[in-house]
Each structure stands twice: as structure tokens, then as C-alpha cells.
Structure 1
Amino acid sequence: MPIGKRLSVDAAEELAISALAYLAGNPDALGRFLSLSGIGPADLRAAARESGFLAGVLEFFLADESLLLAFVEAAQVRPTMIAAARHTLAGESEF
């Protein structure tokens, strides 16, 4: 992403959905995420349509460095992209 250019909401959502799919393949991490988020597995698909939820998915990755590093390696993205996507989905303004 070029300096000064913000990640689009669509790109941020796509990255967050990829992170959620990665979680689905990691039962231990998924269990921790569901426990912390307070939602059940049956509600996951509906929740994934909410940008606030997707920001929470990325926040979960940012709070667990080993999970974050494993995901960014698998997704072939820089770790800073996760933070940028969370920032975009949370609707935070630039400083």
C-alpha cells in the first residue's frame, strides 16, 4: 500500500474474512475467539457480515503475535496490513 493511501473498506473486509477463514482451520484459536467474542459457531456467518465484527477478528490476531505471524505468512501479507485493515474497519480517522 503506497504511503498516504488508505486501505479500502472492501480490501479490509476481504483480509478480515481471510483471517476468519484461517481461524476456522485452527480449532484451538477458533475456540478462544468464540469464547472471547461471546458468539456461538452457528452465529459466525451472520456476524461476519458486520464490519465491527470483522474489526474484532483482526483485533484478535493483533493480540496474539504467534497467530498473527502464522496468518500473515499463510496469506502472504505484511503484519502492518492487519493493523491497517482493523483501522479501516473500525472507522478510525487518520491522525
Structure 2
Amino acid sequence: MNRETAETVALRALGWLAGNDELLPVFLGSTGVSEAEVRARAADPEFLASVLDFLTMDDAWVTGFCDAAGLDYTQPMRARMALPGGDLPNWT
């Protein structure tokens, strides 16, 4: 997956989070960003990576997003690997 496609997937995930009244406060609380910061940083690849980091913490979130977006369940992780920090080795 190229970086542009990865950013598009992450932006779609961000939009899905923003529309989820239960999950958005969890995202804001865990990242420490405000809604204004979310809007301001929506084009920042590192911020988009953090969106995918958050989303991929829970399989139910991944399936909910992918079902809503019509994406394969592997897309969020593939997108994450194409964004900054996604190439870090997994030591587990």
C-alpha cells in the first residue's frame, strides 16, 4: 500500500471515529487531543498513524470501521504499516 492510500484509509477511519458518539471520547481521552486539534492535525501523517494505532487496538473497532467503509479487515493495519513509524520491528 502506498502512503497516499494509507492516508486516505486513516482519514476515513478518523471520520468514522468522529461520527461514533461512544468511541470519539475514548479516542480523545487516550490521545490527549482536543476536537480542535483533531481538525488541525487531520492532514498530519503522524497523527493519522496514531488514529490507526488506536483503531487497531480492538478487533470490534476494526470490523466496525471496515464494515462501514466497505474495506477488507486487513486494510487498517496495512495502512498503518505505510505511515510513519509503521515499519518498526515487532519484537513479540
Using the size of structure 2 for normalisation, the TM-score is 0.88
Q: Structure 1 segments of 4 or more deviating over 3 A?
A: none
Alpha-carbon distance between aligned partners in 1 of 2:58 and 2:21, rounded to the nearest angstrom: 15
Name structure 2 gaps, 5 residues minimum.
Answer: none
Q: Distance in 1 between matches of 2:62 and 2:76?
A: 8
TM-score (norm 1): 0.85
Q: Please point out which of 39, 64, 79 is paired with 2:33.
A: 39
Q: CA RMSD in A?
A: 1.5
Q: Take 2:76 and 2:33, find their aligned partners in 1: how far apart are those partners?
A: 22
Give ranges in structure 1 of 5+ residues lacking alignment: 1-6
Structure 2 SS opposite 1:78: coil
Q: How far is 1:93 from its partner?
A: 6.9
Residues 53-74 of structure 1: CA distance to partner in whole angstroms, max 9, x if unpaired? 1011111111011111011011
Count residues in correspondence.
88
| Superposed counterparts of 1:54-93, under 5 Å | 54-91=48-85, 92=87
